[in-house]
Amino acid sequence: MYIKKKAEITKIRKSGIIVAKILENIKKYIKPGISTNKLNKICHELIIQEKSVPACLGYKGFPKSVCISVNDVVCHGIPNKTEILKNGDILNIDVTIIKDGYHADASKMFYVGYISKENNILCQEAQKSLYCALKVIKPGILINKIGYAIQKNIRKTSFSIVKNYCGHGIGKKFHEKPQILHYYCKQDNQIILKKGMIFTVEPMINLGSDKVQIMSDNWTVKTIDKKPSAQYEHTILVTKYGCEILTHQSTEKIPKKLNNIIKEKT
Ligand code: MF3
Ligand code: CO
Ligand code: CO
């Protein structure tokens, strides 16, 4: 039931390339003094230029085209005219588009000017956790291996993993089954990955406590201790030998197609 048909994979692959392009092209606009609303506007225009639809706009009432989450905002930040970026800020831009009826979803961290060493390590470790997860994905593994790989990486740090949000199947719908947990859960052992599954992995890593709260706008999620949070997200296809990163960007530190099958010595 989670397996995508060939024609669907082709479409989601195209959507993924567009999402990657938006994330690559927005970088040059991120400077002290720009508002998150302006960044939203630029992303919106880039999405329209690609003849695709911003999936966040109007999704369950979300008012903007992308989510922008600055510093202690964990996710679902609403771009705002009065929110002006300043030197030292870290932010996540989360882009989801629909092209030809199919979604792709990815996000990454951006730095404003010079950021603190602490924030730099936080962002690096968030990306590394995502990569650790992608490096275990292959047909035949239990779904909870993904969260296990993330937890194994974060255990080595003083950071914490947000438990309230998870990755998700994606396709015709924005959020499909299965849920992808970003921490180890022994009981989450009912699904075995198969070739043709498409889902996101999107760990949110906090500098301090993993506790979060939703603000009165009913969207913005913040850390309760006001310490920063970082997130990286990709849309992934499970392939015969591992996985393909459908939202792979040119700045990536791992290849687009991962071979995760260890060749046995003969
Ligand atoms: N892109 C987010 C995710 O990774 C979901 C954002 S929902 C929105 O699943 F409504 F806030 F846009
Ligand atoms: Co997303
Ligand atoms: Co997502």
Q: What is the mean pLDDT of the chain?
A: 98
Nearest atom in ligand 1 to the alpha carbon of residue 175 is 9
Does the CA dihedral 237-19-202-164 come out positive or negative?
negative
Which pLDDT does position 262 carry in this prediction?
A: 82
The identity of residue 130, as a single letter, is L
Nearest atom in ligand 1 to the alpha carbon of residue 66 is 12
Residue-wise pLDDT for 83-126, tens only, equals 999 999 999 999 999 999 999 999 999 999 999 999 999 999 99
Q: Which alpha helices (H) appear in 34-106, and where do they start and end?
A: 36-49
Residue-wise pLDDT for 27-57, tens only, equals 999 999 999 999 999 999 999 999 999 999 9
Domains along the chain with CATH numbers:
6-259 (3.90.230.10)
Residue 92 in tokens: 């996540």
d(CA 75, CA 159): 17
Residue-wise pLDDT for 231-266, tens only, equals 999 999 999 999 999 999 999 999 999 999 986 666
Contact 182, 161 (CB under 8 A): yes
Contact 93, 108 (CB under 8 A): yes
List all residues whose CB is within 6 A of at least one atom of ligand 1: 56, 59-60, 62, 67, 76, 94, 96, 105, 202, 233
